[in-house]
Structure 1
Amino acid sequence: MRLGIERGGRLIGYGDWASITPQSAELGLAIGESRLWGQGLGVEAGRLLIAYAFGVLGLPQVRAEVHAPNTRSRRLMPKLGFREVGVVGEETYGGQPTPLIGFTLSREDWNALSPKPRG
């Protein structure tokens, strides 16, 4: 499932859910133009995607995999509440075999991070 990320009415990236099962799904996120990086757009889009997964899709857990050298994405995961679980595989990245770092986030942990309404 792929969803577009828009800013000012213009498509700037995408978020997707892969390997969807009743137990979990894998998050993918990309902001295409490098001039837009570092502006919090990934955090904002990631939070919306996670809320969708736990709300609309009703999943108990979400996962993500990041290429080890991708420091921006590795820093993003904890900002979204993900916990690093270690190396989960290897893929080619930049023409070289590269470890994939796995991350996981449970609905319970997400709910603990989410702001509660004041009453």
Structure 2
Amino acid sequence: MSEGSRPRAGPPRAIVTPRLRLRPLRLDDAETLAALLDDFEVVRMLARVPWPYGVADAESFICDYGDETVFAVCLKASGELVGVCGLHPGRRGGNAGDLGYWIGRRHWNQGYATEAAHAAIDYGFTALGLDEITVSCRVINEASRRVVWKCGFRFSGSGMIDTLASGRVAAEHFSLDRSCWRSLKAWGGTP
């Protein structure tokens, strides 16, 4: 890490869910992030993570993730960091954000990605005042697609995306607008 670099402040507060605590990333998370992303099965599904991924990559990200809102996804009971979830300004412009999330492999199939995504979506519509949130996933990523559907997103199209680890890949795109999110919340639905 370069001299004078320091972690960004991140989101202004932590979010607590039934099993998770989403909090700002800290520089002391770098080794854990690098260890979780030392798994091509995780990285190959992500658009903006290079392969291989080391501690220097993690430190660089923690110190400068631009205008994104990024959360460390931690188990509430132990504080263990298990992944990352966040929102960044939308590709379409306007008052929209793109959702991104990943969970380390040994924590897959426990619903953590869905729980973290719900919290980030709520944060996006309430604290950030977004009007729409979009998300994309590789067509081969059935687990991510399940998260997307559980969060109430609607399919908006398919196409190609550029990824750092896997090159140009086929993807599906989804969106959730504020009015749909409000309706789902009012019905007591999953989001």
Normalised by the length of structure 2, the TM-score is: 0.55
Stretches of 4+ moved more than 2 A in 1? 19-22, 88-97
Q: Which amino acid aligns with 1:26?
A: D
Counterpart CA distance in 1 for 2:101 and 2:111 is: 13
The 1:57–1:92 alpha-carbon spacing in structure 2 relative to 1, beyond 3 Å, is closer
1:10 partnered with 2:80: yes
Is 2:108 aligned against 1:37?
Answer: yes
Bigger CA radius of gyration: 2
Aligned pairs for 1:100-119 within 5 A:
100-115=171-186
Measured in 2, the distance between the counterparts of 1:36 and 1:70 equals 16
In structure 2, stretches of 5+ residues that fail to align are: 1-68
**Partner-residue secondary structure (3-state), 1:110:** helix
Structure 1 counterpart of 2:89: 19
C-alpha distance in 1, partners of 2:89/2:101?
A: 14
Task: Spell out, residue by residue over 1:47-97, the C-alpha distance to the aligned partner (whole angstroms, 9 max, x if none).
Answer: 100000000000010000111111110111010000111114333587464
Indicate if the aligned counterparts of 1:22 and 1:59 stay in contact, CA closer than 8 A: no
Could you say which structure has the higher strand fraction? Answer: 1
Opposite residue 71 of structure 2, the aligned amino acid is L
> What RMSD over aligned residues (CA atoms) do the two structures have, in Å?
2.0
- Partner-residue secondary structure (3-state), 1:114: helix
Q: What is the percent sequence identity of the aligned residues?
A: 29
Give the letter aligned to residue 82 of structure 2.
Answer: I
| Structure 1: runs of 5 or more not aligned | none
Would you say the 8 A contact 2:134–2:174 is kept in 1? yes
Letter in 2 for 1:30: W
1: CA distance, partners of 2:132 / 2:167: 30
Report if aligned partners of 1:65, 1:100 keep a CA contact under 8 Å in 2: yes
Match of 1:83 in 2: 154
Q: Give the structure 1 partner of residue 125 of structure 2.
A: 54
C-alpha contact 1:3 1:16 (8 A) present in aligned 2: yes
